[in-house]
Structure formats: structure tokens, C-alpha cells
Structure 1
Amino acid sequence: MQLSHLVKDWGGFEQLVAELNRTGEVSVEHNVVLPGRSGAPRQIDVLIRHKQGLYEHLIVAECKFWNKAVDRATVDSMATTVREVGASRGVIFSNNGFQSGAVTQAKADSIDLFLVRDLTNDEWGAPGKIIDFFLHVISISIGGFSTERTFSLPGSQPTSTRMDLRLGNAETNSSTPITWPGRSFKTLEEGIEHAAKDAAQKVYQPAAFSADGKFDATLRARVTVNLAPPKPIVAKINDGTIFIPSATLHIGISINQSRMIFDRAKNLAFALAVEDCVRNTVTAAARSVGEETTMLNQLNAPQHVSGNDKPLENGTIFSVWVAGFQNFDEFAGLNPGEVKIAPAAS
């Protein structure tokens, strides 16, 4: 897709310039000889005919595939060619730019000067020709929950201190009424699920990882969460009341990572910048594979953005949290605090 890959010599550059001008609105001819008014033939690299109403306009283009910038004398020569063949316009295309004297002369003679070059990343649009980012799909699992140092007051002891907690499914969750000092939770189940989500979000680090050199991978971590509110949680269970000064919760965090790479030029035969060195504007010229016409789109100066409107950068990680809770069985083989990374299943 780079200009150096598309063009190897002068003839190839002429062919490319001809294709850049095939927009469907004009006819384009390559390597044409026209008679000059003085009687001498004039060789034209690319001849563009634009018919509008009853009139036909001729535009003659020279293609300079040089290892140096085009000079003033070349612009003088083009101005002579325009007069000799009676063209409406003269254009010089270069792969290496123009000297300042050439630009000054072109303005005086109404000659267009176009530099054909690769598009910059800013001109492609952030983050550039290649878009490369990561997607993290994160799910949480709840394992064991155990209370510590629970007690009851005389006359409010439950018939059993065993709690049958069912978590992770709003439709089948158990419901254990509580008072959690400083929090608005109505049930112990609600408090545990909130604690699991809060801990997972604190543990999660939006950083890319790999397994066996592959970025499409899954990370699993088993985490122990210690709950120690300033005052004991008061829970109603089994026809009584217990006080829970502290508890331990085991959670599992699963991160399914996918690397997303997109080449914006994948379906393009070419995409180049055509820089107008007289008017200081830039036009993107692109053609899709299999098409016969070139699309032209004038580019605006890059816009400065800030705050939350910053453009996408390569390497960015997008995090998506799965609603609800997953089965804890896949974490049974992990020890508390252990992390395991494995390639994603193909």
C-alpha cells in the first residue's frame, strides 16, 4: 500500500497518476502526443479531458518520478506546453516535492503542483492505517462465604447458625435480612454480591497479557476478600439474630482477551495523499479492489481533542463486564491468590 511498493519506476508513476485521475467524471489517456501551435509535437504524460456541456477542457499533466524536488525550469516548460497545445490547465505530479522557486512560478503561471505521498496516520484518522486494540470480557464467580467470630445475644439465638446461601442468580437467590452499618443492603446476598463486584473491579488491571506468545487468551484468578465492617453485620437467620464481625469471601475473575487488528487498506487497491503545494490542501485518493474509479476526498486539518473525546490509540483495552455471576467450578483447581493464563480455545 505504500507508494514505494506501488511504484518502482517513472513509467509506473505515470500509470499511477493516470489512475488517480480516473474518477469517472473525466477521460484519461496515458502517453499522448499532441501537435503544438509551433508545429512541434508535444509528448504528454497524462492527458485529462473534461467535457462540460458544449465544451471540452484539456488538462495536461507531467509526472516527475525524481530523487529531487522539481525546479522552476520545469514549471516554465509546463507553462509553454499549456500554451502550445491550447490546454485549459497544466499540472505537475511529483513524488519528491517542489522547490520554493517552482511554487512561486506555478502561482504566476496558474500551474498546479501535486505531491503524491503516503497518507499519514493523522490523515487516515486515529489511530492510523492499522487499528490494533484489545477486548476484555470479564466475568465474576462467587465461591465460598464463611463468617468469623459470630455471636448472638441472649434470647435471640437462632435455632441453627448454618446459613443456606444461594447466590449469583436473581431468580433463585436466597434472601437473608440484614442490617449492614453504613450501607443500604437489605439482604446478606445483596451485600456479598456487591462486595464481589467491588473487589473484582479493584483487582482488575486493564493490561494486555499473552499465553504461549498468543494474545487471544484467558486469564483466571482466584481472590480472597476479607469483609470487616466498622460494626458487625446483623443478620436474621433461623428465627434468630446473629452478629457478624468479619467474613471471608472467595471469588473467581475470568478475563477473556481478544486482540482486534484491522487494516483499513485491506480492501483498497491504493490509498494515497495528493498534496496541493500551491493551495496547501490535501486530498485522499483511494480505490477499492475490483473498482475502476478513484474516490477523492479532501482532508481537513487534524482536530485537537481533549478529555473524554480522545481518539482511539493502538494498544487500547476495552473492558466489558458480564452481568450476573458465573459458575465457580472452573476456579476449584486454583489456590487463593493464584493466577492462570491459557491460550483461548480455538
Structure 2
Amino acid sequence: MFKESIEYELLTQSIYQEILARESADTVDVKHNVSLAGRSGVEHQIDVFWEFRQAGVKHRVLIECKNYGTSLTLEKARNFFAVLHDIGNCQGIMVTKTGYQSGVVDFCRFYGIELKLLRAPVDSDWVGRIKTVKINVTPRVPVSTIEHPITCALFLQPTSDAQDARLRAAVHRDPNLTRASSSTKFLGKDGEPKTEEMAFWLPRQLNVLQYEDGGPYEKNVELNDHYLSVDIGSGHELVKVIGVKIGFWVETLESQEIVINAVETVNAILKDYQTGDIEYAHRKQI
């Protein structure tokens, strides 16, 4: 039970961290298991806590998590109110997974304590909401086969007359210097990799939806500050690449159906107990 309670508190921390990251321009650190001293001098253990400053004013939020299988009693709400009153200048939120007994809602509404449900979704939560999305996809892709490989011609620009002479002689000896292989990577001026290997980089440069099936097609791509490290006669040196010409074929693959089932991906929801509004859906980590 203790382990499950800690996991419930950590889930609450994680959800509010994600909500604040989405809604706040500033980074807010949501903390778990914090000890705060009240005005009485008594230390209080707070399950989840965060604070921030806005317009020069400090705002603090305290969350009490109750991973109970039964509805939360008025006694628990009163105890939490006492903690909030002792600490002062703070907003309180109670989070449980089942519900709240009679009197809790009125008591907490009067004292400004928010009541939330954090639990696994049930069928009633999906009323009026989309549970399943089906998407039919017909992929059109650049072909990469032995018969129709993707090719890449390199446009090289020497940075000096001496390099131009070495490059011309090297290309005369080996014309493949002006063609990229599947493992080629472009480098930056510092000699560090600037792109992934051509096998992955080249297809990303192609928007094949505008082409009919077949080919061959060609596309020129201008480059800026891209280099190759090649040996053109005096050891490896950086040679500037100002562009590439990609040769390719296009093929439309068989249609596929993708089914997204929200019931299988959402493992917890945060719901306002009084309004019934679902405020956040927590998705499983895959």
C-alpha cells in the first residue's frame, strides 16, 4: 500500500509538471514529498508542491494525494485545511481516485480548496469523446532498389587555386569523388558531422507527393557550409559542397490502416470533481 501511495504521488507530480510546462512560459519545478514549516513552527509533509513568482508575488500550491479505494472523508479535508491555514499564503488541491463523501464539496468550496479525481478512465469518461481513430494511409515513397537506386551527384567548390588543381586531378583519377555513397556524411567547417548518413538524409530532401509513379526524376538542393573530408592528393582535407543533384524514382505502396485506440494509450485522467471536466489525459510511456 505504501509503494502504491508513493507511485500515486509521483504520478500526480508528473502530471502537474507536464501541465505547467504546457501552460506556463516560465519553468516551474514541481516537487514531491516536501517538508514545510507552518506559522506555528510545526513541520508539515506535503505530497506535491510548487511555487512561483508572478508580478512580484509568491504563489504556492500544496497537493494532498489520497490513493484510497473509498471516498475521502470530511475529516481528511479538515486536516488538510488545518495544514493550509498553518502554512498560509497558499492554494490547496486534494487529489484522490474514488470521490469525496458528503459535506467535503461544500467545505472545500467555501475555503477555496480544489478537489480533483486522478484515476484510470472509465466508460463514462469517453461519452462525447473520440475513443478510436482510424487512418487510411497510402504511402508514396522514393524507390531505393538495385534497379532504381537513389543517386546523389555532388557540386564541389574549391577554396583555392591549389585545391582546385588537386580536385580536378583527383576527379580525373576517380570520378566517384563527385558522387555520394549511402554512408556519406556532410561535415561543418569544424570537421564535425553536420548531417546524418545519406541513406537517411537524402529521402528527407524529397517531397514525392507531387510526382507520379515512375521516373527517373531529378531534384537540385542548394547547400550552405557543407563539406566533405576527402583525400585529393595530399591527405584528407575539407572540400566545400555547394549543392547536390538527387536522382530518384517514385512508387506508391499498398494502403495501410492505422488504428489509434485512446483506451489503450491513456492510463490516467485528471478530472475536476465539481465540474466533471477532464483537465488532462496521461498517456502511457511506450
TM-score for both structures, normalised by structure 1: 0.41
Structure having the higher Rg = 1
Higher-helix-fraction structure: 2
TM-score for both structures, normalised by structure 2: 0.48
